A and B are shown apart, each in its own frame.
Chain A
Amino acid sequence: MIRLNPDNTGNMLTQLTQVKAQEDDALLQLSSGRRVNKPSDDPAASATMVGVRARSSADDQYLQNISTVRATLSTADSTLNSVVLALQHGLSIAVEGANGTQSPSGRSAMADDIEGVRDQILSLANTSFAGSFLFAGTAINEKPFVADATSPSGFAYAGNSNRNSVQIGENRSLDMNTPGDQIFSSPGADLFGALGDLIQSLRANDVGGIEAATGDLRTALDHVTAARVPYGNTLAQLDNDESFLRSDQLQMTTKENDLISSDPLAAISALRNAQFAREATLSAFGQTSNLSLLDYLK
């Protein structure tokens, strides 16, 4: 007959320690809501989580960037809209001024009106948002259009011709601005030049000049209208980018749940099992350990 180890306390203690460890583990999972509380709980999931965290926090930041970009682009877009409206107003005056029935004094008054339009557009071209000039290229601290007697149009561009691009997603950046010289004073569509010519021709009562300036103004209007289009497109794209980022965020949350969250039902049942096993072990130990042959001797 094989002799058994007469002392079973060692077995019992090993059992109890194991069951207690399972119980603690289940309790920790329940209280923390996480299956993985330290890297050794699941090294692979912990390593994957580094990437998930990076991506979901980058998503948060890109969403914030998008709202900043949107505010800036919307301001630029509505500014250009105002420029278009002002130009249309100026153009209607110009068409009227070219009319042969106008008196010289009427044209002079129209020149005053056009000066008003020019001042309005100048101030729109020099619009700043959050302390930065919107149409100065990347030289955002320079007022882009300033009066300059040496310039044929009477105004000089003080900004630069660079575009800034902003990161709004992993591998996704977009142009933040169109430099002012490409909107307001591009060669062949010089807005201030056209307005200056118009004013001069009105004052000089020069119908041919008025007509030529009106044509230039129309070209400038088309140019500004065209310059507005990328802003609108970008704003529309931002909506797509935002919804992509939001769904990516959701995906990252799902992934996080899959990787490290505990399943409460499984944790509760593991806890129950461990508690039951511990009670059973303890009560079995309590009952058997007292028995020996001595109990049956007088």
Chain B
Amino acid sequence: MSSLFGSLSISLRALLAQQAAVETTTDNIANMNTPGYSRRRVVLEEDEPVFNGSYTEPRGVHLEKIESIRDRVLQLRILDETQQQSASNSLVNAMEPVEQYFTDGDGTIGAELNNFFNALSALSPDPSNTGLRTGVLTAAGNLTNAVQTTANNLVDAQQQADRGITQAVTQVNQLTQQIAALNQNISAKIKLGQDSGALEDQRDVVIRQLAGLVDVSVMDDTEGLTLSTSNGSPLVVGGKAFTLDPQLDASGKVAIYSQGSDITSTLKYGQIGGLLDARDNHIAPLLSQLDTFAKSFTDAMNTAHAAGFDSNGDAGGDLFQPIAATQGAAASMGLAIQDPSLLAASSDGAAGDSRNLAGLIALQNGAIIDGSTPGNYYAGIVFQAGTSVANAKAASDSGDLMLQQLDNQRGAISGVSLDEETANLIRFQRAYEAAARVVSVISDLTEQAINLGRN
């Protein structure tokens, strides 16, 4: 049987439900600028009506739950894109200083190479001129300096990348600790049937930070979230974090260990992946090409130089310091003679002959370095340095747009709209007012019922 008190109870529950809705709206508005916040929505549900024998009696409304609006698949796509984007950005940042060493201008290997051959050519008409002979040695010295400096700069850039990698690993370890702690809290809340939305938002933010640093793949199971690198090395399993361990390998480079095994070569994404890519796949080849350049150039020059005679009529010695091994050749390139009279310009031993210079000059157009002329070989290095940066930049630019688009999608699903919240606020306010009004009507009715039959 229906009763006034039944109605009172319905409107009281309505008041509570609308109040919760207003509160949720307020929470959304309060967090509209909180990074990673997913908007909440109240889920109201009609109370199950009761059949009282003659008819079904309504029971009103109750707050079923407050849910966070999020798209987990989208979240994973954002993570993927964040990893790639961060790798491209780190690659660009690491390579931009490197390409400067190969920029067209004075003091570069290209410029010094030209100066050297020009100094040889200048000596050709006047081979006994001490000033011009000194000029050749100076230019040769400048060339070896340029090669050495460039090689040292490349090694510096690799060490810079290593410092970045070590720092990033430290951050990774901090973040995985945080995620493990959040995992514990979240699963505790879920077990208690409580809303874990706020903690999940926090965890999403931290996971995204993690994805900016290293390869992360996410697996969500009943036991909580499992994070691992792309080759399956664990980072976080439920409430337990696994640390990554940076160690120096035999060549003095940083290698990353997980659970005692070296996973360096499997890391492709995030800041760590990008820096490893720069170090091993972009800077290292440039360095080894410079080594080849230094070694082959030195060998060819010394052979051609030794075919001639110096100012004293003695057979020519080495012009550049002989280099035994190709590896590290660029950093050790140097001049073998300081005395201009030891320059073997002559091929007949007489002071006025410069035909041996012709042999040295001819090397400018000789295929002496891996089948290329010195200039072409160097041009190849320039091309490679430029392409590395240009490709990484293109990837980073398109990644920016992609990530922006995904963020827009995320915003469309999870972002707080002020208009929507305001409209909701009005809606819930009206419902609350109406329910309150019902209470006061029932109050009037009960008063009338109490006063029934009084006069």
Contact = CB atoms under 8 A, between A and B. Distances in A.
B354 A166 contact: yes
B85 to A, nearest CB: 12
A173 B348 contact: no
> What is the interface residue range for chain B against chain A?
35 or more
B124 A167 contact: yes
B393 interface: yes
B411 A7 contact: yes
Contacts of A260: 104
B412 A5 contact: yes
B352 interface: yes
Given A43-B383, A61-B118, A293-B418, A164 B127 contact: yes
Contact of A164 (B352, B379, B386): B352
Nearest to B383: A47
Contacts of A170: 365
Given A3-B412, A5-B415, A166-B125, A139 B104 contact: no
A69 B125 contact: yes
Nearest to A50: B379
B355 A164 contact: yes
B376 A51 contact: yes
Given A39-B99, A53-B110, A10 B389 contact: no
Contacts of A131: 128
B380 interface: yes
Given A61-B118, A65-B121, A141-B352, 20 more contacts: A3-B412, A37-B103, A39-B103, A39-B382, A39-B383, A40-B389, A41-B390, A50-B375, A53-B111, A54-B375, A65-B124, A137-B350, A137-B352, A138-B346, A138-B348, A139-B351, A160-B348, A165-B355, A167-B358, A297-B422
30 contacts: A2-B412, A3-B413, A5-B409, A5-B411, A6-B420, A7-B32, A11-B404, A11-B408, A38-B100, A39-B386, A43-B390, A46-B383, A47-B380, A48-B379, A54-B114, A61-B118, A69-B125, A132-B352, A136-B352, A137-B350, A138-B352, A139-B350, A141-B351, A162-B350, A164-B355, A166-B124, A167-B358, A170-B365, A293-B419, A294-B418
Interface of B: 32, 96, 99-100, 102-104, 110-111, 113-115, 117-118, 121-122, 124-128, 346, 348, 350-355, 357-358, 361, 364-365, 375-376, 378-380, 382-390, 393, 400-401, 404, 407-413, 415-420, 422-423, 426
